[in-house]
Amino acid sequence: MNHLTSVEIYIWNYLEENKTKVIQMTVAQIAESAHVSPSSIIRTLKKKKFSGFSEYKNTAKIKMNTNKWIHGLSESANQVVSETIEELLRTVRLLESENLS
């Protein structure tokens, strides 16, 4: 059920490859730029376990800021910090989804 279609894979890759630009745009602007529909973007994000575009943007901003901060750390420290951040973000999403129920 959560398998991405080829269009959704294209959208996800577009979002991830253009993250710096995307966090400054609206869903409609991204849809126009990527030549897809806004609803396809939202559907893709929901399949990737985001509640919507706002959550994706916030997560992307956090990751980008964190990556800048950990840039100077050793490779093993980077890995530990990155894994911890990923776990924290998953926990937040899980807690948010439980609160909505």
- Per residue in 43-69, pLDDT (tens digit) is 999 999 999 999 999 999 888 777 665
- Give the pLDDT of residue 96: 83
Helical spans, DSSP H, in 1-101 = 6-17, 19-22, 27-34, 38-47, 53-70, 75-100
Q: Where are the domains of the chain?
A: 6-100
- Listing DSSP states for 24-47 in one string gives TS-HHHHHHHHTS-HHHHHHHHHH
CATH number given to 6-100: 1.10.10.10
pTM for the whole thing?
0.66
Confidence of residue 70 (pLDDT cuts 50, 70, 90): low
- Give the pLDDT of residue 62: 84
